Structure 1
Amino acid sequence: MRLNQNILLLGKKVVLVPYTSEHVPRYHEWMKSEELRRLTASEPLTLEQEYAMQRSWREDADKCTFIVLDAEKWQAQSGTSEESCMVGDVNLFLTDLGDPSLGEIEVMIAEPSCRGQGLGTEAVLMMMLYGVTRLGLTKFEAKIGQGNEPSIRMFRKLHFEQVAVSSVFQEVTLRLMMSEPERQWLLEQTSYVQEKPYREGASEPC
């Protein structure tokens, strides 16, 4: 999504930056993991295919992607070496043509040593904030494999409720309706988040 290509979101534990070509090699290494492919329902891609995927995601109006960086590492390195700070990604898919206010959200903390520390939770909250304030979303869905208990628990803690189970795809669908109380809760949870211009020279040519 071009809308977020020059935006950086700064949180306490994570920094969200646009997915650029410099992130592709490490992302590609992550996706060699059979476990990650299973959890994200992804197919194995060659490095060239991964670069093509990154370009398409930057262009597609119905996909908003941020790479998740470890904020502590990123700040220690003054933001110069993002690849070494990468821990995962967070995405919004605006694929329901009949309901532009609905976004399907997913998060992946790919680095095993970074799991269970709240990075995924903060990344989801920050992405929801961006979806509500910048994309006009009022509903979020998360589709999660039935065996991915940590992810299901995380979304439940973020007020998502289970609305469907697919035995065919072996996944559960959770949903959050952004009522006014939920919106206020989200704004309170993310009151510290700062939106900044993405570093100079990082945006790619058309």
Structure 2
Amino acid sequence: MRLNSQTALRGKGVILLPYERMMVPKYHDWMKSPELLLLTASEPLTLEEEYDMQNKWLQDEDKCTFIVLDRDAYEKNKDEIGSMIGDTNLFLSYDEDQSLVAEAEIMIAEAWARGKRKGWEAMILMLLYGISELKVKKYQAKISMSNSVSINMFHKLGFKEESHSDVFKEVTLMKMTDEEWAKWLNQQTDYEILKRNLL
């Protein structure tokens, strides 16, 4: 979305940057992995289709996407592409009360970066951004039943099961936002919003 196109979010161990055209080839390489396609319930795209998708996500006001960088790697070499480890997304909609709902997603694509709480911190930064900048009132996470790591992470973040689908083999978790939860999220990491060009 245009709103976050000039925004960077910085935590203790990760940095979130808007998904830009120069990042597409590495993202495309990630999405050749059958494991990641399965875990993210995605279809393989050609490189040209991936460029189109990146541009569409930049334009659409109901999609907020950030690429996750490993902060230590970035601060050593200032190489954004080399420091990319995954992405995080919010898909926005309104419920019947016209409250903003966001479906949250996180993917740590680089195997070496998994199990180091990078996804945990990146998701917290994204949740805080949604609360403070987008005014999200309710979060959902739709996760494959086979993805126990993701399900456990969202449970630890305070999400509860809302529904599950045996047909789609996925569970939907939910969390209403409030001041107390936002305060707890802030206590889990540093949360800094920067201008993209000041990183």
TM-score bracket relative to the smaller structure = over 0.9
Instruction: Please show how residues 1-206 of structure 1 align to structure 2 within 5 Å.
Output: 1-77=1-77, 79=78, 81-96=79-94, 98=96, 99-190=98-189, 192-199=190-197
SS in 1 for 2:32: coil
Q: Which amino acid aligns with 2:92?
A: L
Shift of 1:96: 3.9
Measure the CA separation in 2 of the matches of 1:101 and 1:9.
Answer: 21
SS of equivalent residue, structure 2 residue 104:
strand
Q: How far off is 1:21 after superposition?
A: 0.5
**TM-score of the superposed pair, with normalisation by structure 1:** 0.92
**Partner deviation per Cα, 1:55-101 (whole Å, 9 max, x = no partner):** 00000000000000000001111x3x211100000000003464442
Contact 1:14 1:122 in 2 (8 A): yes
| 1:118 CA drift (Å) | 0.1
Cα deviation code 1:168-206 (max 9, x no counterpart) = 11000111111332122123334x221111127xxxxxx
Q: How many aligned positions are there?
A: 198
d(CA) in 2 for partners of 1:106, 1:38: 14
Judge conservation of contact 1:94–1:100 (CA < 8 Å) in 2.
Answer: no
- Would you identify which runs of 4 or more consecutive aligned residues in structure 1 move more than 6 Å? none
Deviates more, 1:49-58 or 1:159-168: 159-168
Partners of 1:100 and 1:57 in 2: how far apart? 22
What SS does the aligned partner of 1:199 have? helix
Q: Is 1:25–1:47's contact at 8 Å kept on the other side of the alignment? A: yes
Distance (whole Å) between structure 2 residues aligned to residue 167 and residue 109 of structure 1? 26
CA distance in 2: counterparts of 1:107 and 1:174, whole angstroms: 14
The normalised TM-score by structure 2 is 0.95
Q: Aligned partners of 2:95, 2:31: CA distance in 1, in Å? A: 29
Give the superposed CA RMSD. 1.5
Change (3 A) 1:62 1:109: same
Contact 1:105 1:142 in 2 (8 A): yes
Contact 2:93-2:100 at 8 Å conserved across structures? no
Whether contact under 8 Å (2:89, 2:106) holds in the other structure is yes
